[in-house]
């Protein structure tokens, strides 16, 4: 009996996913000139985007405002109930208002209309009924209607709020693209969060570059001499260079174990005979996240950092990347 109930719940969850995904996909059919007009109005605005909504729509409005603010479009959430008690003073003639209401008849939003129209503030409406009061008063209308809610009772906003959030995300991402918002710009808005850490550091910020600590060996050194260097420097590898001080190879702890198993007499070996030739390298000006991606791709734990002439400048280790929060 318990298994039957469990299966029913799994099927219900799957139905929720299907209903909500269908609701989002139907939005693709409703995007057209309204998107271009909304983008132009917001880009041309000298003020902020004021996003407002009540109840569940208000929660979605908060998220849309937060997404816009973090991606280069100054935005602010206005609680419509509080707006009638003085908060509507934040709306200026330079702003753009996005009003969210599934019915298009939310009283608290309707109370904002006189101010919006008096100041001639552009009004973008997300609603499920174009014939509603908000729909008719909108300068730009986005249809976020759904065939049905995912809630079995048909009451709790579920598919409709998901569709609204997706529409808001689409608008925010298009604004980001149209503004030419860059990775560096994103970092400025996320200096302390994990979202920014992956782009915060360059390789040169995290690499070991102290020449006294770097394990640099010549390719004509004996294998045992290089092993001794690796042991002393305690970095698990050695950078191998030629007479022009250009990187020609790498020798790691893993290489040493394989060589000991392969060669019966290691005393006669030269480093250049057993090193890994043409190892993967990275520029000191590359993003640290790029270095981590290379390590993951090739299943290695450290990279040589070289200049444009392939002269070694340092080593960056995966432990340093992970410790810094690069992911």
Q: Which domains does the chain have, with CATH numbers?
A: 2-181 (3.40.50.10490), 203-323 (3.10.580.10)
| Percent of the chain topping pLDDT 90 | 67
**102-140 pLDDT tens trace:** 999 999 999 999 999 999 999 999 999 999 999 999 999
What pLDDT shows up at residue 221?
Answer: 95
Residues 6+ apart with CB under 8 A from 326: 197, 198, 201, 206, 288, 289, 292
Residues 6+ apart with CB under 8 A from 273: 223
| DSSP code for 242 | -
DSSP E strands, 32-89: 49-53, 75-78
Spatial distance between the Cα atoms of 76 and 58, rounded to a whole number of angstroms? 12
Question: Does residue 249 contact residue 216 with C-beta atoms inside 8 Å?
Answer: no
pLDDT band at 191; cut points 50, 70, 90: low
Token pair of 255, please?
Answer: 């290489």
Spatial distance between the Cα atoms of 42 and 159, rounded to a whole number of angstroms? 27
| Overall average pLDDT of the 275-303 stretch | 91
Nearest to 320 by CA among 156, 187, 173, 209: 209
Q: Which residues pair with 39 in a beta bridge?
A: none
What pLDDT shows up at residue 309?
Answer: 94
Nearest to 91 by CA among 62, 122, 68: 122
What pLDDT shows up at residue 184?
Answer: 61
pLDDT band at 94; cut points 50, 70, 90: very high
**Residue 298 clears pLDDT 60, i.e. is over it:** yes
**138-179 pLDDT tens trace:** 999 999 999 999 988 878 889 999 999 999 999 999 999 998
Nearest to 161 by CA among 264, 58, 14, 270: 58
Rounded to the nearest 10°, the torsion over CA 147, 150, 153, 154 is: -30
Q: What is the mean pLDDT of the chain?
A: 89
Spatial distance between the Cα atoms of 148 and 25, rounded to a whole number of angstroms? 14
pTM of the entire predicted model = 0.60
**Residue 195 clears pLDDT 80, i.e. is over it:** no
Spatial distance between the Cα atoms of 143 and 42, rounded to a whole number of angstroms? 19
Mapped onto helix, strand or coil, the DSSP state of residue 6 is: helix
| DSSP code for 119 | T
**Residue 82 clears pLDDT 60, i.e. is over it:** yes
Residues 6+ apart with CB under 8 A from 115: 88, 91, 121
What pLDDT shows up at residue 319?
Answer: 83
**8-63 pLDDT tens trace:** 889 999 999 999 999 999 999 999 999 999 999 999 999 999 999 999 999 999 99
Nearest to 48 by CA among 34, 69, 63: 69
């Amino acid at each position: 009996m318990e298994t039957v109930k469990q299966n029913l719940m799994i099927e219900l969850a799957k139905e929720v996913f299907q209903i909500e995904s269908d609701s989002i996909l139907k939005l693709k059919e409703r995007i057209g000139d309204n998107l271009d007009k909304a983008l132009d109005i917001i880009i041309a605005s000298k003020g902020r985007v004021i996003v407002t909504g009540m109840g569940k729509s208000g929660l979605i409005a908060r998220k849309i405002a937060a997404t816009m603010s973090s991606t280069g479009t100054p935005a602010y959430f206005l609680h419509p109930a509080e707006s009638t008690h003085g908060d509507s003073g934040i709306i200026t003639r330079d702003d753009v208002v996005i009003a969210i209401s599934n019915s298009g008849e939310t009283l608290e939003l309707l109370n904002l209309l006189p101010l919006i129209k008096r100041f001639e503030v552009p009004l973008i409406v997300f609603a499920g009924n174009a014939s509603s009061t908000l729909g008719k008063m909108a300068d730009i209308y986005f249809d976020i209607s759904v065939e049905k809610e995912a809630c079995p009772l048909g009451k709790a906003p579920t598919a409709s709020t998901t569709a609204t959030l997706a529409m808001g995300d689409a608008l925010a991402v298009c604004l980001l693209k149209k503004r030419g918002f860059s990775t560096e710009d994103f970092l400025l808005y996320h200096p302390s969060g994990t979202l920014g850490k992956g782009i915060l550091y360059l390789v040169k910020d995290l690499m070991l570059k102290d020449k006294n600590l770097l394990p640099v060996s010549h390719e004509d050194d004996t294998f045992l001499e290089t092993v001794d260097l690796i042991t002393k420097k305690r970095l698990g590898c050695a950078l191998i260079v030629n007479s022009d001080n250009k990187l020609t190879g790498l020798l790691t702890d893993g290489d040493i174990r394989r060589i000991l198993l392969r060669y019966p007499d290691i005393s006669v070996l030269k480093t250049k005979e057993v090193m890994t030739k043409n190892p993967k390298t990275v520029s000191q000006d590359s993003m640290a996240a790029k270095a981590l991606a290379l390590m993951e791709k090739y299943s290695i734990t450290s990279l040589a950092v070289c200049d444009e002439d392939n002269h070694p400048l340092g080593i960056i280790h995966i432990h340093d990347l992970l410790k810094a929060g690069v992911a």
